[in-house]
Structure 1
């Protein structure tokens, strides 16, 4: 049923993967699917933001987060699961949708959290946008 599963996570926020990771792993093991874990860096290249950082900052940040993601996968993902680590940049929901399309994933599994604004009450803003705009199946885990 599922061959490729995309799991967006924020390494700094355990609630972004605490429940979603076991769900994604269960699907991977049940369907012998590959797991594609993505974490997204903000786009430092934007003119408004980029001026505050040295040119090499974005590349250093990407290398650091890539190392952190590698360690996360080694610690959290069982050996028998085929896994790909992805570090993307830009707005989180746009990067998730872009990678989902590029990899032609079957399912996006992601966590949601409550926000203060009324429209974000049921889903976090990134999860809401992914659900609204994705052409792939999306599972929101609470």
Structure 2
């Protein structure tokens, strides 16, 4: 397994773990009817800090373990795999951006979601964008892992 592929696997695991915790906290807060904008902001800030810290730590550890390949320049295959991952992630991000805009323009379409979460519309839109960015990032990492395993 190459240095780049190992890094992608760890980033995918970090992303899935941290954001699963974020959404499960929002879910349980919603179930207990204690979900508020302040609680959501606190959870989001925690996620951002943990993501940055774990990504820095993971790159340091992988660079110490495989220091020979840490400064490895991407070859044509790595660039192609990265582009395929970004392309697939971009499609997802574009679709969820359209969904967020539709939610903003036609709030009646998601009236049930607003009532269920009991949050202002701005926070619903923020979470739609967060979900879109998260799914796009997972799609990007998954596509890259797939092509590293299968080959281009």
- TM tier relative to shorter chain: 0.3 to 0.5
Q: Which has the larger radius of gyration?
A: 2
Q: Which has the higher contact order (CA 8 A, sep 6+)?
A: 2
Q: Report which of the two has the higher share of helix.
A: 2
